[in-house]
Chain A
Amino acid sequence: MNSMQKTMVEIGNIHDLPLQTGRVVKVNGREIAVFRISSGDVRAVENRCPHKNGPLAEGIVAGEYVFCPLHDRKINLNDGNVQAPDSGCVTTYRVDVTDEKVYISI
């Protein structure tokens, strides 16, 4: 929770992120799925479904949710929670966009 210990990493321009589509970025050995949702906001979560490690970046994005491409688990991109009737959680990362540049705090 201590933001002082986190570093901000630049991962490119917001226009590299097409709407409703995930992209993958590797930071410090961690694989992160980055999404630009329809509102224009950017969300970042661990690229690994808690069910069977599905790559979330390849899932269908609807509103603030992504559906895992392997077994269709529905995951909230804001808090990382897997939606009922399934359970589980993925790590979420803070995203900042300044001058069209996208930064992830890790």
Chain B
Amino acid sequence: MNKRKLVLVGNGMAGVRCIEEILKHNADLFEITIIGSEPHPNYNRILLSSVLAGDADIRDIVLNDYEWYKKHQIDLHTGQTVTRIDVETKRVFTDQGLVVPYDDLILATGSLPVILPLPGADKQGVISFRDIKDCEAMIEASKQYKKAIVIGGGLLGLEAARGLLNLSMEVSVVHIFENLMERQLDPVASQLLQQELEKQGIRFLMGKQSEAVLGEERVTGLRFKDGSMESADLIVMAVGIKPNVELARQSGIEVNRGVMVNDWMETSLPDVYAVGECAEHRTGVYGLVAPLYEQGMVLAKRLCRIDTPPYEGSVVYTKLKVSGVDVFSAGEFMDGAETRAIRVHDEFSGVYKKIMVRDNKIIGAVLFGDTSDSNRILQMMRSGSSIQDLKRVSILENRSAEANSGNDLVAALSDDEIICGCNGVSKGTIVQAIREKGLCSVEEVKQCTSASRSCGGCKPLVANLLESVLGDSVVVSRKEPICGCTTLSREELVAEIKEKQLTTVKEVMFVLGWKETEGCSKCRPAVNYYLNMIWPEEHEDERESRFVNERMHANIQKDGTYSVVPRMYGGVTSPAELKRIAAVAEKYNVPMVKVTGGQRLDLLGVKKEDLPKIWAELDMPSGFAYGKAIRTVKTCVGSDFCRFGTQNSIRMGIDIEKKFERLNTPAKVKMAVSGCPRNCAESSIKDIGVVGIDGGWEIYVGGNGGVHLRGAELLCKVKTEQEVLEWTGAFLQYYRENANYGERTSQWMERVGLTAVQAVLQDSEMRRQLNERVDKALSVLRDPWQQIMEDKQASRMYEELPVLT
């Protein structure tokens, strides 16, 4: 009954990760208390730069929310700092008078930012970049002030600089050395990095040593040793971190740079352990997350009395998280007498790769501009495999160029190697899951183990693992089943539906032997789409198999409200329409009215029960902004008004939108029509982009401006508006019939290739048949808002159920 009392000092990534591991091994062993100085639950410190860059919200980076602590009955004290450990009575004391006894104590106090002892460093507007508080201070400062200096051209400094740039500040980076990130990069890579960041708008003051912070109460600038000065309203010091060892030192624990630990993470005192940035292991102090996780895992097993190999240090690597810059560095990177390097430097595409070799083993690497090899190289470093038999430059070549070596590499890894760094999933865990649960796709591995679920960077490794475990059998199942409920691929499914004349989702799943009789959230909408596509007139759309947005005909928001986007053909509206929209927005207290990227008006924050009323009062068709469907046709002003316009782009855009509106497609389809090659409607990044030229039109397809930036490719040139409609219809239907559900035209085009699509569409008979089929699909569609308003039963679905007693 008597649980051991386990106290963790430090509520950060390393310590909490260790606790997670302990709970996984044995949730009943300890009564756990966690004490942390920051007033937050455990969050992902690595992603602070994303918060600063505006890519994530503070809430998004929380790793363990308060519920998690509650669920595991962890006694959590935030906003308190442990000030003393009494090793005699085995108790810890906090600055707020809390006294907690322990049987086992883990120190995970992390590290502190180094603050340069410059005169004036205590002025307002001088901060570090370490925690949420600093992040908030920078965001706050950016609202009031214009000019920032970041001291430190290392990883953290550059990420801070990029973040401040995103906050619209002018940013200068001051670095004491001549090369950026000199602890990770060789001079060539440093130069390339600096040039790239200069292009993004960061100024660099290299080889400058700061001397004093200038200003009265608030900072106004920085003076350097050479006498020069630079003005600033904000100074961020990002010159490094040092292990936070004060508590350990005062408590008589042996401390060098960090808290000294052995291979079991034990400190010099009995029952006191240390993990993370505060710990020093065999002279190594780590500031990166993977080693900290590795330490936590060893300690967790140790505390739970499970046999574990000792912690013997980590191979570390660095990736710079700055948008548009791919930088990777691992191990040794400077040329030396005993090392030799394999180098590739392509000045045209801005790619530089260098691999360091000693005794035929890879001991380090620097990659700039293309880091796709990083995982592979890292694995080769970790396994210490000899490269004697490999062709030198081939090490830097893409996996496909050397067939199976990727598999050989993963096969050589030990079971406890981490494959998915985001979720800490080891090779052993994945292999076991593949064997025991009969997994045969990356998707299944993801579902079962969480590997590749977060950033997806390890997907190629997971795929290699699958192949190395399953051998040739996986080649047979290489076709991706549409989801885990079936083994059928899209092509097989479509063929079966046609051949067996299946007409409902239920029938498909029953006849084709679905593992789950009613499928899942992935396959139900897909099957419903395929049925609609194959039997446009016969299949009755199945509302309950639609994703919420397509069922409600509005776009669900994070708080459960909806957004409403009425159709405005070609992005053209009228005073009367605008008045109606304004009246509706006022009447229903719509929190925000926004102009969308597709030239429409979006009413955001609408309550579910108001949707049918708002549609009725707007008296406009649905804009389908919520669906896998034809979205918008964006247009430029065109020849009606524009002095450069060669074609009437507005007319063309409206005609296209009127003809194809309401059409369901495998994924959303965005279109644009520009009246001349200046391309103001951005036709070149649309699924279908039409560009007016003198005497005709160019039709581009497969563009994307979102996740995968991709320029659209020229499908054809035509002379008349009628031909534009004909080619658009043919392309849309060919895409509808051949793409996977959820696959954008850009991904689909990448997969099948432009020439294959052109080969089909250049045949006028094919175009005629495709248009016939798309016309049939269009003929049965009606405006969904209108339909719901007319159907009492359907409108009632938007209301809550009444409580009758």
Cβ contact within 8 Å between B543 and A21? yes
Residues of A within 8 A of B503 (CB): none
Cα-based distance from A8 to B805 in the complex (angstroms): 9
Interface residue? A63 (CB, 8 A)? yes
Residues of B within 8 A of A12 (CB): 801-802, 804
Q: Which residue of A lies closest to B542 (CB)?
A: A20
Cα-based distance from A60 to B485 in the complex (angstroms): 15
Shortest CB distance B627–A (Å):
14
Residues of B within 8 A of A34 (CB): 801
Cα-based distance from A24 to B796 in the complex (angstroms): 11
Residues of A within 8 A of B556 (CB): 55, 58, 69-70
* Chain B, 453-476, CB within 8 A of any chain A CB: 453
Cα-based distance from A102 to B362 in the complex (angstroms): 69
Residues of A within 8 A of B449 (CB): 85
Most chain A C-beta atoms within 10 Å of own C-beta, residue among B448, B559, B800:
B800
Cβ contact within 8 Å between A63 and B803? no
Cβ contact within 8 Å between B800 and A26? yes
Contact among B450, B558, B560 for A85, CB-based, below 8 A: B450
Interface residue? B548 (CB, 8 A)? yes
Cβ contact within 8 Å between A10 and B805? yes
Cα-based distance from A62 to B528 in the complex (angstroms): 14
Cβ contact within 8 Å between B518 and A38? yes
Interface residue? A11 (CB, 8 A)? yes
Cβ contact within 8 Å between A62 and B450? no
Interface residue? B67 (CB, 8 A)? yes
Interface residue? B797 (CB, 8 A)? yes
* Chain A, 1-51, CB within 8 A of any chain B CB: 8-12, 16, 18-21, 23-27, 34, 38, 50
Residues of A within 8 A of B704 (CB): none
* Chain B, 763-805, CB within 8 A of any chain A CB: 796-797, 800-805
Cα-based distance from A41 to B801 in the complex (angstroms): 17
Cβ contact within 8 Å between B453 and A55? no
Cβ contact within 8 Å between B804 and A10? yes
Interface residue? B552 (CB, 8 A)? yes
Cβ contact within 8 Å between B548 and A69? yes
Cβ contact within 8 Å between A60 and B797? no
Residues of B within 8 A of A10 (CB): 803-805
Contact among A23, A62, A70 for B519, CB-based, below 8 A: A62
Shortest CB distance B560–A (Å):
4
Cβ contact within 8 Å between B801 and A25? yes
- Report if A60-B67 is in contact (Cβ < 8 Å); known contacts: A11-B803, A23-B801: no
Cα-based distance from A28 to B174 in the complex (angstroms): 60
- Report if A18-B544 is in contact (Cβ < 8 Å); known contacts: A23-B797, A38-B518: yes
- 0/1 interface trace, chain A 49-70, chain B, CB 8 Å (1 if under): 0101111001111110101011
Contact among B520, B558, B800, B801 for A70, CB-based, below 8 A: B558
Interface residue? A79 (CB, 8 A)? no
Cβ contact within 8 Å between B450 and A60? no
Cβ contact within 8 Å between B802 and A20? no
Contact among A24, A52, A67 for B801, CB-based, below 8 A: A24
Cα-based distance from A70 to B558 in the complex (angstroms): 7
Interface residue? B93 (CB, 8 A)? no
Interface residue? B517 (CB, 8 A)? yes
Cβ contact within 8 Å between B805 and A9? yes
Cα-based distance from A63 to B351 in the complex (angstroms): 51
Interface residue? B538 (CB, 8 A)? no
Interface residue? B547 (CB, 8 A)? yes
Could you tell me how many residues of chain A have their Cβ less than 8 Å away from some Cβ of chain B? 37
Shortest CB distance A67–B (Å):
4
- Report if A60-B547 is in contact (Cβ < 8 Å); known contacts: A52-B558, A69-B556: yes
- 0/1 interface trace, chain B 553-588, chain A, CB 8 Å (1 if under): 000101110000000000000000000000000000
Cα-based distance from A72 to B520 in the complex (angstroms): 10
Cα-based distance from A38 to B510 in the complex (angstroms): 14
Interface residue? B541 (CB, 8 A)? no
- Report if A23-B800 is in contact (Cβ < 8 Å); known contacts: A72-B521, A85-B447: yes
Shortest CB distance B290–A (Å):
20
Cα-based distance from A70 to B547 in the complex (angstroms): 10
Residues of B within 8 A of A27 (CB): 803
Most chain A C-beta atoms within 10 Å of own C-beta, residue among B71, B518, B547, B558:
B518
* Chain B, 506-562, CB within 8 A of any chain A CB: 516-521, 524-525, 543-545, 547-548, 551-552, 556, 558-560
Q: Which residue of B lies closest to A86 (CB)?
A: B450
Cβ contact within 8 Å between B803 and A25? yes
Residues of A within 8 A of B516 (CB): 62-63
Cα-based distance from A65 to B517 in the complex (angstroms): 12
Cα-based distance from A56 to B478 in the complex (angstroms): 34
Cβ contact within 8 Å between B547 and A69? yes
Residues of B within 8 A of A20 (CB): 518, 544
Cα-based distance from A99 to B559 in the complex (angstroms): 36
Shortest CB distance B449–A (Å):
7
Contact among B67, B525, B544, B796 for A50, CB-based, below 8 A: B67
Q: Which residue of B lies closest to A19 (CB)?
A: B544
Shortest CB distance B784–A (Å):
16
Residues of B within 8 A of A74 (CB): 520-521
Shortest CB distance B521–A (Å):
4
Q: Which residue of A lies closest to B559 (CB)?
A: A53
Cβ contact within 8 Å between B804 and A62? no
Shortest CB distance A21–B (Å):
5
Cβ contact within 8 Å between A18 and B797? yes
- Report if A60-B521 is in contact (Cβ < 8 Å); known contacts: A69-B548, A85-B449: yes
Q: Which residue of B lies closest to A11 (CB)?
A: B801
Residues of B within 8 A of A60 (CB): 520-521, 524-525, 544-545, 547-548
Residues of B within 8 A of A23 (CB): 797, 800-801
Most chain A C-beta atoms within 10 Å of own C-beta, residue among B521, B543, B800:
B521
Q: Which residue of B lies closest to A37 (CB)?
A: B518
Shortest CB distance A72–B (Å):
6
Cβ contact within 8 Å between A59 and B800? no
Residues of B within 8 A of A70 (CB): 556, 558
- 0/1 interface trace, chain A 85-96, chain B, CB 8 Å (1 if under): 100100000000
Cα-based distance from A75 to B521 in the complex (angstroms): 12
Residues of A within 8 A of B548 (CB): 58-60, 69
Cβ contact within 8 Å between A62 and B801? no
Shortest CB distance B71–A (Å):
8
Q: Which residue of B lies closest to A12 (CB)?
A: B801
Shortest CB distance A68–B (Å):
9
Cα-based distance from A48 to B67 in the complex (angstroms): 14
Q: Which residue of A lies closest to B519 (CB)?
A: A62
Shortest CB distance A6–B (Å):
13
Cα-based distance from A8 to B101 in the complex (angstroms): 48
Residues of A within 8 A of B520 (CB): 60, 62, 65, 67, 74
Q: A62-B521, A63-B516, A69-B547 are in contact. List 5 more A-B contacts (CB 8 A).
A: A9-B803, A55-B556, A55-B560, A58-B556, A60-B524
Q: Which 10 A-B pairs have the closest CB atoms?
A: A67-B521, A20-B544, A69-B548, A25-B801, A62-B518, A10-B804, A58-B548, A55-B560, A60-B521, A85-B450
Give me 29 A-to-B residue pairs in the complex whose CB atoms sit less than 8 angstroms apart, sorted by A's number: A10-B804, A10-B805, A12-B802, A12-B804, A18-B544, A20-B518, A20-B544, A21-B551, A24-B800, A25-B800, A25-B801, A26-B800, A53-B560, A54-B560, A55-B556, A55-B560, A58-B556, A58-B560, A60-B521, A60-B524, A60-B544, A60-B545, A62-B519, A62-B521, A63-B516, A69-B547, A69-B548, A69-B556, A85-B450
Residues of A within 8 A of B (CB): 8-12, 16, 18-21, 23-27, 34, 38, 50, 52-55, 58-63, 65, 67, 69-70, 72, 74, 84-85, 88
